Amino acid sequence: MKTVKRKSVGTHFSMCVQPAFIIGTNNEDGTYNFAPITWVSVTNEKDDDYLLVISMFGWKKTKQNVGRTGVLSVNLVSTDMIELMDYFGAHHGKDGKKDAVPYEVSRGEVVDIPVLDASPWVYECEVVRSVETGNSTTFFCAIKNIQIDEQLDCKDTFDVNLTKLDPVIYSGMYHSVGKLLGKIGDFVQS
């Protein structure tokens, strides 16, 4: 392992490597709304109960919808969806329906929320609590259902070959995953 020489650059650099998701919500009039969000993580509540942790900044329509309804879909963005993600990010829900780029939508299997048919991995979620920090709201969401592409050969939700899933990774710019290196324990020397 090499030693890295670092330099201090201050606190204004905020790069944080994150997978990209498109959040699906229900508008007040029954239509759907989608917005890209990359502030998504997971935490453990108890036993095997995991919560998705999703933070949203500002006054997005999506953030308002989640606060009002308490439900959302969390659609992983694969590289073939990057145009759609970029489109959703450049157009705001307050300006009307986002339909200049074609996409298909269905409803969740467990939670009544809009789901993007192109997404290979979808969480159907219900908010269990939220925390306000400045202009950000962090939603702690119970996972009610996970839908995965049938072509993903997974033994469980931790046995995922990300190179096959091909997620968009965001760090201020868009990236993809290059190669599978191995599993936990593959690199421990006895």
**Domain span at residue 93?**
18-158
Higher pLDDT pick, 94 / 177 = 177
In a domain, 181, yes or no: no
DSSP symbol at 94: G
Question: What pLDDT does residue 154 have?
Answer: 79
What integer pLDDT is reported at residue 152 of this predicted model?
85
The residue among 150, 129, 153, 149 whose CA lies nearest residue 140 is 129
Asked if residue 130 is part of any domain, the answer here is yes
What pLDDT does residue 5 have? 93
Is residue 6 a part of any domain in this protein? Answer: no
Encode pLDDT of 11-39 as tens digits.
Answer: 776 678 889 999 999 999 999 999 999 99
Supply the CATH number for residue 56's domain.
Answer: 2.30.110.10
154 assigned to some structural domain: yes
CA 48 distance to own-chain centroid: 20
pLDDT greater at residue 87 or residue 157: 87
167 within a domain of the structure (yes/no): no
Question: Is the pLDDT higher at 2 or at 74?
Answer: 74
Question: Which of 125, 170, 166 lies closest to 145 in space, CA to CA?
Answer: 125
Q: What's the rounded mean pLDDT across residues 93-103?
A: 76
Instruction: Inform me whether the pLDDT recorded for 182 exceeds 80.
Output: no
* Tokens of residue 130, six digits: 């939220």
∠ CA(105), CA(145), CA(180), 5° rounding?
90
Query: Residue 81 falls within a domain, yes or no?
Result: yes
Please list the helix, strand and coil fractions of the chain in percent, rounded to the nearest 5, in that order: 15, 40, 45
- Which pLDDT does position 13 carry in this prediction? 62
Between CA 114 and CA 134 the distance in angstroms is: 28
Confirm whether 111 is domain-assigned.
yes
| More reliable by pLDDT, 96 or 172 | 172
Q: Is the pLDDT of residue 97 over 80?
A: no
Residue 34 confidence (pLDDT): 94
Q: pTM score, two decimals?
A: 0.89
Cα 136 from Cα 132, distance rounded (Å): 6
Domain count along the chain = 1
Question: What pLDDT was estimated at residue 11?
Answer: 78
Q: Which residues are 136's β-sheet partners? A: 57, 133
pLDDT of residue 93: 67
pLDDT tens by residue, 122-169: 999 999 999 999 999 999 999 999 999 988 877 776 778 888 889 999
- Domain-located, residue 56: yes
Distance CA 176, CA 79 (A): 7
The three-state secondary structure class of 19 is strand
Average pLDDT of the chain? 89
**What pairing do the DSSP bridges indicate for beta strands 71-76 and 121-133?**
antiparallel
What is the reported pLDDT for 62? 94
